[in-house]
Amino acid sequence: MILNIYKPSTWTSFDVVKKIKIITKEKKVGHGGTLDPFAEGVLMIGTNIDTKKLSNISRCNKTYIATIKLGIHTDSFDRDGKIIKINEVPIINEAIIKSVLQSFLGSYKHLPPMYSAKKKNGVRLYNYARKNIIVERDPIKTQIEEINFISFDKDKIKFSVKCSSGTYIRSLAVDISKKLKTIGHLVELIRTEVGGFSINDSLSLKKFEESWKFIKT
C-alpha cells in the first residue's frame, strides 16, 4: 500500500510513520523522503512489500512552496534554530528578487546544513552540530528545474521551486539571501508534489484514520 499523507508541521516524518503503523497495525511501514519537523505537506508512506517502492519515489523531483525571512540567520537555516546573526535588509523589489531566483535555475551546487542527516566520517552532521562542532562539508550538486516568485512583504519572500532529490531548500534560502546581499532563514516549507503525487490528493492523518476505520468495517 502506497499512501499520500499530509505531514503536519511540528511532526517528524517518523512520527507520521508511527501513527500510520498504529492506525493500520501493519508490521512494516516507511516513508519516501524526510521532511523537516517545521515543514509540512506531501509525505509518501509505504507499507509491507510496497516499502520497496519508496526508494524510487524518493528519487523523484520534488516541488515546494517556501518562505524566507530576511535579516536573520539561524544555525539550522530554519525557524527552529538558534539566531546567530542579525543584519539589515537592503532595499529590494520584486524585479530584483525575480532576477536572483532565476539565477538558481539549472545545476545547483550547495553545502548541506550542519543540522542535517548527511554523514561526515561516518557521523551524521547533526551530531557534530549538537556538540557545537562545525566540520567541512562536501558540496552537493542537484538541479533546480523551476523556481518562481510568489510574493514579497517587507522582509519575507515566498517562492515555489521544483528540484531534484537531495536539494536542501534551507541551503537554497540561505544562498538566495546572500545573493540579495543579506542573510536569511526558512520560516515556512510546504512540499506540494513528489513525482506525480500531489498535495491536492494528500490525506490528513485524521481523514486517513477515519477512512481506514470505514474500510475495515
Q: HEC states along 93-117? A: CHHHHHHHHHCCCEEEEECCCCCCC
CATH top-level class for 2-59+195-216?
alpha beta
The per-residue pLDDT for 215 is: 66
Report pTM: 0.93
Our CA angle for 184, 189, 194, nearest 5°, is: 135
Cβ(39)–Cβ(8) under 8 Å? Answer: no
> What totals of helices (H) and strands (E) does the chain contain, helices first?
6, 13
Q: Which of 15, 36, 75, 175 is catalytic?
A: 36
What does the block give as the cell for 170?
534551507
Instruction: State the maximum Cα–Cα separation within the chain, in Å, rounded to a whole number.
Output: 60
- Asked if the model's pLDDT at residue 217 lies above 60, the reply is no
The β-bridge partners of 72 are 86
Q: CATH 3.30.2350.10 region(s) of the chain?
A: 2-59+195-216, 62-191
CATH top-level class for 62-191?
alpha beta
Tell me the backbone φ, ψ of residue 206, rounded to 5 degrees: -65, -45
- Mean pLDDT throughout 193-203? 95
Residue 23 to residue 14: CA distance in whole angstroms? 14
What does each C-alpha distance from 69 to 78, 87, 159, 182 come to in angstroms?
Answer: 9, 11, 12, 11
In this prediction, residue 120 has a pLDDT band, given cuts at 50, 70 and 90, of confident
36 is a catalytic site residue: yes
The per-residue pLDDT for 216 is: 62
- Asked if the model's pLDDT at residue 142 lies above 60, the reply is yes
Element at 176 (helix H, strand E): helix 169-179
